[in-house]
């Protein structure tokens, strides 16, 4: 499952621009650290999420590799 650590996110929104499925939305209020972090609004649309549910071995992860702050990561659903 796609995860976001607001502690590391600086609000650059590169994930919003790079995601082919438009999983993220911009935030309209700051997080506890004063940053307007993106919101994972449509997690079920994430290519990685769908592929993992279907036990496919191909992944997108564009948001994870694009994030300059390493604030996004993929956590397996058990």
Residue-level pLDDT at 57: 64
Tens of pLDDT, residue by residue over 10-65, are 999 999 999 999 999 999 999 999 999 999 999 888 877 667 667 666 678 899 99
Residue-level pLDDT at 47: 77
Q: Which residue has the higher pLDDT, 44 or 72?
A: 72
Architecture of the 2-74 domain = 2-Layer Sandwich (3.30)
Q: Per the confidence metrics, is the pTM higher than 0.75?
A: yes
Here the tokens at position 62 are 């564009």
Inter-residue contact 3 to 73 (CB < 8 Å): yes
User: How far apart (Å, rounded) are the C-alpha atoms in residues 6 and 15?
Assistant: 13
């Amino acid at each position: 499952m796609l995860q976001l650590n607001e502690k590391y996110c600086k609000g650059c929104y590169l994930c919003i621009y790079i995601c082919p499925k438009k999983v993220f939305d911009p935030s309209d209020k700051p997080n506890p650290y004063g940053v307007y972090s993106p919101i994972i609004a449509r997690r079920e649309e994430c290519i990685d999420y769908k592929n993992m549910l279907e036990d496919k071995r191909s992944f997108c992860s564009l948001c994870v590799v694009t994030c300059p702050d390493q604030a996004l990561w993929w956590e397996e659903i058990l």
